[in-house]
Each structure stands twice: as structure tokens, then as C-alpha cells.
Chains A and B, each alone.
Chain A
Amino acid sequence: MTWNYVGRRVAMFFAVVLLAASANFLIPRFAPGDPTAAVLEQLMSRGQQVEGAGDIVQEYRERFGLDDPLHIQYFRYLWNTLRFDLGQSISFFPQTVSSAILDALPWTIGLLLVSTFIAFGVGSLVGALIAWPGAPRAVKALVPGLMMLSAIPYYLLALIILYALAFSSGIFPLGGAYSSYPRSFDFETVVDILYHACLPALSIVLAGVGFWALGMRGAMIGTLGEDYLTLAEAKGLKPRRIFFGYAVRNAMLPQVTSLAIALGTAASGSVLVEVAFNYPGIGFLLYNALRSSDYFLVQGIAFVLVLTVAIAVLILDLVYPFLDPRIERQ
């Protein structure tokens, strides 16, 4: 791995983060209607109910430095964003946007990491088997079903699963991530959390397996004609070893590339799954922020969503040369 390569990837990362922060700053200013006025107006109408509304108005004026020239406002905004100071949440008042996001983040990351990896593993294996000539027929019969599942968005599937397995049969809880807020991590709490995570995870896995299987199938077909497979066969290696050690190993590479992007986009895709299941992660927080027009919080979450993808892509870019030495030559 050359320093040039690393430098370019890191520069790309900062470019994306800068772009996202700039979009957060600029878009409200170009949108028709005046969002600053809208938020202030909304604060006024809430004046009686929200304690400390005066502070928020003050904060808003300072944050956007409404009297300063535009470029000063812009640089101040970037500086604040860099320090992860994303402003004051309106709907969760004493909390700041960053603390509200940090509270919700572990739930989303936990749910997503586990379910995306399960979908990735199961999907890749199934996809590899579908393309493998020696695989059982039953696996090949899976193709149409998997294709259908991959075409259906997460959240539509989530709603149907929720109805079938929670509302009408009562096998699983209706929503949330725990029965009572976990104070310690004993065995019972962990089981309870896993029990609550089952259905949201199931909908993400079901919707994802097809995607991974189809991608893997394509990559496997590409490797099947390669000479090293013929050589491995000629050497008399066991089929299992040829399958995993030669075919799957090479076909996995493009899958790993998609994984980074998928982990990132899963964060925004899961927003609606969390809404359907009242799962207390980023997505549910976003839903509440939108419903109470908590504009800072919406912007903050949008920024975090971009940040997750950027980080995932950066990590992948830095790890990839170790997986596939050919990449460096480009």
C-alpha cells in the first residue's frame, strides 16, 4: 500500500464529509421559504410549553450568526460540525443533538452490524451454491424466491412481518428494543434485547439475502471458467476445498466491496425499519425529529448517516489492498 493511495483515500473521506456539512449549511438557505424564520416561528408558538425556549432562540441566532456575512457563518458552521457540536435539540430540550444521537447510535449499530453480516454470510453462501455445478437442486430452486425478496424494500417487508409474527400471533414483541431500560448487562437483559431485535433483524436479513446471493452468483459464474479451477481439479483436490478455497475465495472480492457501501446505506435504509418497530435507534429518533420539526436534529442525523458511509468506505479502501494485492497496481 503506497502513501499516495492512502493519502488519496483519506482526502476523499474529508471531501465527502465537507460536502455533507456544506449541504447541511447551504440547502436550508436555498430552499423556498425561510427555514430560520420557520424555526423561530415554531419556537415562539411553543414558547409556553418548552422551558428554556429563550435559550434556544439565542442559540439559534448565535449558531447561524444571522447578522454576520455568509462566509463567516459558513466557516463557523464547519468548525462547529467538526467538533461534533451539532446544536441544541428542540424536542428533547436539555439534550444536545449530539448527545441524542449518541444515545441512539449503539442500538442502530448493533442491529445493523449483526443483521447485515448475517445477510451477507447467508446470501453469499447461497449465491455461491446456486452457481456451483455440483450443488444440490434444492438450492437452485431458491433463485426465484430470493429474487422476489431482493426486489421488496426492507420496510414493506418489515410491516408485513410485524403484522404476521407480532400483532396476529403474538410470538414476538410489538416493538421497542427492551422490556425495561437495561441498567446492567446480565444474562436476562441480553436475552430480552435479542428477543426484541429478532423481528427487525429478520426483515433486514430477508430483504438483504437476495441481493447478496445474486451478486455472489454473478461473481461465481465469472470465476468458474478460470484456469486455476481446472488445475485444482486436475490436482485431485476435494470438491469442498475447490469450492471454498479457490472459487468462493476469489468470487468474494467484489462482494466485500459492496459490503462497505451496504453497511453505510443500510443505516439510512434501516431508518424505516426502526420506525415500523419503534426501535430506539437513529431512524426512530429521526422520525420523532421530523414529527416535531426539530430541524437541528434532522440535520445532525443526516450528517451522521453520511459520516457512517464515509467511514465504512474509508476502512474498506484501506483494507482492500490486503485482500486483493492486484488493486495497488491501478
Chain B
Amino acid sequence: MSNVLRTLRASLSFALANPKMLAGIAILAVLLLFSFVGPMFVDLRNAEPISVSTNQRPSAELWLGSDSGGRDLLAVMIAATPQTLRMGVLAGALGVAFGVFLGLVAGYWGGWRDRVISTVTDTMLTIPPLAILLVVAASMRSITVEIMAVIIAALSWMFAARIIRAQVLSLREQNYVKMAKLSGMSDLRVVLTEVLPNIVPLAFAAFVGAVSGAILAGIGLEVLGLGPQNTPTLGMTIYWALLYSAFSRGMWWWWLPPILILIALFISLFLITAALDEVANPKLRRSRK
């Protein structure tokens, strides 16, 4: 395990010296701060419908105004941002854990396991996740943030599986791995002590990418009205705004804040992924010069 920690620490110190990484983390930190400090100043119960008067413009009391359902939109934003992040992190973690496991098995042990896993992975990759998500979400009466995360993870593990498999295939041919095997280590120990530490940076990059992808898929479902009905989320806010034609009524304070928060979130995750890719792929680092 100390190997894993050492690689992580080395990656971390490189990453912190990377401007993309710093910018990405800074944006993410602001969003987190917003959702953790916010509740101290704003009553989150006002994120529920009919808690303030409807269709208010932004004012001194209601900084972001209110929507047609009588929700305080600032409270909605504060309550919804962590929900969106939680869904993304949960889905990303589940999907990448599963993908790393399959990628290791396929790449290290090979043979029929590799053929089965690769065929399933390639087949699943050609199925647009939204199509399956739609059928699942539409056939459920009510959906929670957690269920959404599990469904999304079940449809997105393939990317991690493929990247990890490719990496493990090349690691397997490295001398130190061969050496470890020759010295009589069991396969499981070789994988845990020699292979796994070397795929940590890549798996972490895949994780951040998966979080971003999961949020993208989740927002897609929510904008179509298939998100959780009882939890305030950013996507559902956009859905309600479209449904009540906030555009033509000039209620920009209804649809603009969730879009801006999402854009900030996507850009931050994108910057972090790009920086992590440079850590995981030294080739990219060199080519930048």
C-alpha cells in the first residue's frame, strides 16, 4: 500500500504545480464553499415549493428571486449544487471501481476472460447511454439521486475498463513485473503491489472524467423531467424553467444561475482531467513544449 501512497503523493505534487489543475481545483473549491457556507445564511427550507411569493425579481431579500412554484432560487442553488456533485461522485466512483476491476482482470490474466470482457465492453460502448437511461428512468415512478447514480454507473464503466486494460497490457510486459513473477510472487500480489500502484494516476483521471460524464448524463435526464422529483437539483430547475417558459417571460434569474453553475462545474472538472492526463501520460507533458 505504501507504493500506492508514494505514487499518489508524487502525482499530487506534480499536479499542484500545474496551472490547469490549480484553476480546476479553485473553481471546484468555490462551488463547494458556496454549498457549505450558503446554508448558514439562507434558509434551505425555502428551496421547497410555495415557501416564498412567486415570480419575484432578484431583490435585497431574495438575491436570485423566486420561480413560479414559489421557491427561493438562491436556496435552490445552494441545496442543488451538492446534490449534483454527490450524484456525479457516486456514479463516477462506482463506475470506475467496476471498470478498473474488469480492466485489471482482462489485461493481466488475458485469455478467455479478456475476450469476454472486451466483447462486452465494446458492445456496451456502442450503445448510447441516454437510450437505456431513458427506458429505465421512464419505467420508474420515482427516482432518487442514489438510484440515478447507480444506473449511470452501470452504463459508463466501459471507458475506465478500456483505458485500464490497455495500460495493464503494457505494464505486464515491463521487466519489474516479469521479475516479480519470476521471484515467485502470486499473481494477486503482483497485481496489488506492482501493477495497481502504476494505474492509480490513470484511474484517478478516469474517475474525474467519469464524474463529469455522470453529471452530464444526469443533467440530461433531469432536463427531460426524469430526475428526482423531491430533491432540488440543477437539472430539474432548468426543466421547470423551460416548462413554465421562463425564457419568454424574461425570468433570466430562473434559468441562468443553474446553467452558469453547471458550466463552471464542467470547466473545473475538464481542467482537472486535462491536468491529470498530463500526469498519467508523460507523452502529453513533453509535447506541450
Residues on A close to B: CB < 8 A? Answer: 12, 15-16, 19-20, 23-24, 27-28, 31-33, 35, 38, 147-148, 150-153, 155-156, 159-160, 162-163, 167, 174, 218, 221, 261, 264-265, 267-269, 271-272, 275-276, 286-287, 290-291, 293, 295, 298-299, 301-303, 305-306, 309-310, 313
Contact = CB atoms under 8 A, between A and B. Distances in A.
A15 B267 contact: no
Contact of B131 (A148, A291, A295, A306): A306
30 contacts: A16-B123, A20-B131, A27-B132, A28-B135, A31-B136, A31-B140, A32-B140, A33-B141, A147-B270, A148-B267, A148-B270, A151-B212, A153-B219, A153-B266, A156-B259, A156-B262, A159-B238, A174-B248, A218-B284, A261-B125, A267-B128, A268-B131, A287-B225, A290-B138, A291-B225, A295-B139, A305-B128, A306-B127, A309-B126, A309-B128
B127 A309 contact: yes
B76 to A, nearest CB: 17
Given A147-B274, A221-B287, A302 B247 contact: no
B225 to A, nearest CB: 6
Interface of B: 122-123, 125-132, 134-136, 138-141, 212, 216, 219-220, 223-226, 238, 242, 247-248, 252, 255, 259, 262-263, 266-267, 269-270, 274, 284, 287
Given A156-B262, A160-B259, A271 B224 contact: yes
A31 B126 contact: no
Contacts of A267: 128
A23 B128 CA distance: 13
A308 B138 CA distance: 21
A278 to B, nearest CB: 10
A298 B137 CA distance: 11
Given A19-B123, A159-B259, A268-B128, A38 B138 contact: no
B267 A151 contact: yes
Given A156-B262, A295-B138, A20 B127 contact: yes
A35 B223 CA distance: 22
A167 B138 contact: no
Contacts of B255: 159
Contacts of B238: 159
Contacts of A150: 270
B225 A290 contact: yes
B247 A163 contact: yes
Contact of A305 (B130, B219, B267, B270): B130
Leading 8 A-B pairs by shortest Cβ distance: A151-B270, A268-B130, A302-B131, A305-B131, A31-B139, A268-B128, A28-B139, A221-B287
